[in-house]
Amino acid sequence: MDLLEYQGKQLFRAHGLAVSEGRAADTVEDAVAAADAIGYPVVVKAQVLIGGRGKAGGVKLASSAEEARQHASKILGMDIRGHTVHTLWIEHASEIASEYYAAVLLDRSAKQPLVMFSTEGGVEIEQIAKQTPERLIRHHVDYLEGLSRAESLQIATEGGAEEDVREGVADALLALYEVWRQEDATLAEINPLIVTPDRQVKALDAKVSLDGNALYRHPDHASLSDSRNEDPIERKAKEQGVQYVKLDGDIGILGNGAGLVMSTLDVVAQAGGKPANFLDAGGGSDAEKIKQAVEIILANDAVKAVLFNIFGGITRCDEVARGLIGAFEEMGPAISVPFVVRLDGTNDEDGRRLIEQAALPNVHPAKTMNEAAEKVVALAAAQSGRQV
Ligand code: GDP
Ligand code: MN
């Protein structure tokens, strides 16, 4: 679960990381009132779950109520790369002497927390890693030992933090590590972590992702999710208990088991296609669930063809076939895209026979995963009039 900047900053503050005083606002009037209360100059910031807001015009300084009003009306409702701005964060503007970068994340391959720090902040981390990799410190932490003050100070020093703020940077890193650990975050990032002219170290931005599987340990985190910022199809899927993630391609994917779905995405990509979603119908999927899943996949207008990749174990292929037939019976004319269906495993012959007997329009069987992927990529290309 990704948090908005101001929500991340609330967690920062709770763990002793310095942030500017601010208020959230959903209307222009609220924004101006917040700015008046905070005192000028303020910075008016779009709250969306995507970075690069500054470049997109979603972060503006205001030195008067009039300017705050102008910026607030311009930014509210703005579209930042597909994300509509519903909320603003108004905070007291900071003076900046230096912009650093700091992050704590879970390094899955090392199976350890990773602290990253650079004095080249304010630009995207990908850019820092590419242009000045020698100035990006990467430090793994022993989870049981935790991050010590000595380690933290060493990171600040090796990273080249200015001498008079090394202690301050070390404190910030320790606090950030506690945000990551105690809040069960998968990522806690500050870009930029600034040094002010009076040598305070402060988080000017916040990017925090919480581990959704740990939500039960943090009842207070439930209030942090704002359904307005969720994708409407993902929200519907969540309500129906379907594991769905929207992607930006045009080939709808359904599989059973997260691992199989992941490899299906890979195989489709390898065949030159672009998956439109991740959808794990789960083990033991019954016909009703398959029908729901088809509806969710087709709710995405970008979908030009659908690939069903089922490996029957607990899931019975005949049940999946019944679900697909049921979906066609109910949605019939609404289904205007081709389906490629690969059924393998428990009751696969029954499943294939059912589909054949139902004579569903534009449904193509495939024997192997590779064959299925190639077929669906070709069908999607034909559907959108592209050349393969
Ligand atoms: P992002 O573009 O989504 O990463 O949003 P940020 O919160 O990082 O803001 C973008 C940039 O705006 C920062 O890198 C700063 O250069 C600038 N900025 C943000 N807040 C302030 C502020 O309080 N004072 C000043 N002078 N600049 C700010
Ligand atoms: Mn930023």
Residue 387 within any structural domain of the chain: no
- Do 302 and 377 lie in one domain? The reply is yes
* Ligand with smallest separation from the Cα of 54: 1
Question: Which residue's structure tokens are 């000017």?
Answer: 204
Ligand 2 centroid to Cα of residue 203, in Å, is: 10
DSSP string, 205-225: --EEEE-GGGGGG-GGGGGG-
- Looking at the fold, whether 70 and 109 belong to one and the same domain comes out as no
Domain range for 39 is 21-92
Same domain? For 46 and 103 the reply is no
On whether the CB atoms of residues 363 and 355 are closer than 8 A, the answer is: yes
CATH number, domain with residue 102: 3.30.470.20
pTM: 0.77
| Total number of domains constituting the chain | 3
Q: Which of 3, 12, 19, 59 to mutate to test the pocket of ligand 1 (most atoms within 8 A of CB)?
A: 59
Q: What is the CATH number of the domain that holds 280?
A: 3.40.50.261
Catalytic residue among 91, 120, 189, 295: 189
Cα distance between residue 258 and residue 183, in whole Å: 26
**3-class SS at 201?**
strand
**Residue 189 is among the residues annotated as catalytic for this protein:** yes
Are 23 and 38 spatial neighbours (Cβ–Cβ below 8 Å)? Answer: yes
Catalytic residue among 101, 178, 244, 319: 101
Please name which of 309, 316, 308, 303 lies closest in space to residue 351, comparing C-alpha atoms: 316
Residues 85 and 103 placed together within one structural domain of the fold: no
| CA 195 to centroid of ligand 1, rounded, Å | 13
**pLDDT for residue 18:** 97
> Residue 63's domain is classified under what CATH number?
3.30.1490.20
Pocket of ligand 1 (CB under 6 A): 43, 51-54, 59, 93-94, 96, 122, 191-192, 204-205
Ligand 1, atom 15: closest residue by C-alpha: 122
15 located within any domain: no
Q: Which atom of ligand 1 approaches the CA of 43 most closely?
A: 23
**Nearest atom, ligand 1, residue 51 CA:** 3
Residue pair 311/335 in contact by the 8 Å Cβ criterion: no
Q: What does the alpha-carbon distance between residue 262 and residue 204 come to, in Å, rounded to a whole number?
A: 36
Rg for the chain, CA atoms, rounded: 25
Same domain assignment for residues 141 and 258: no
Which runs of consecutive H residues, i.e. helices, occur in the chain? 5-14, 28-38, 65-75, 125-131, 149-158, 166-182, 232-239, 258-270, 287-298, 317-331, 348-358, 369-383
* Digitized pLDDT (tens) for each residue of the chain, 388 residues in all: 899 999 999 999 999 999 999 999 999 999 999 999 999 999 999 999 999 999 999 999 999 999 999 999 999 999 998 889 999 999 999 999 999 999 999 999 999 999 999 999 988 888 888 888 889 999 999 999 999 999 999 999 999 999 999 999 999 999 999 999 999 999 999 999 999 999 999 999 999 999 988 989 998 888 887 777 778 898 889 888 889 999 989 999 999 889 999 999 999 999 999 999 999 988 767 788 888 999 999 999 999 999 999 998 888 999 989 999 998 998 887 788 999 999 999 999 999 999 999 998 899 988 899 999 999 999 999 988 754 4
Answer positive or negative: Cα dihedral of 65, 67, 70, 76: negative
Query: Among 339, 384, 387, 331, which Cα is nearest to 365's?
Result: 339
- Residues 256 and 301 both lie in one domain: yes
Ligand 1 atom closest to the Cα of residue 96 is: 26
The rounded Å distance from CA 71 to ligand 1 centre is 15
| Residue nearest ligand 1's atom 6 by CA | 205
In a domain, residue 4? The reply is: no
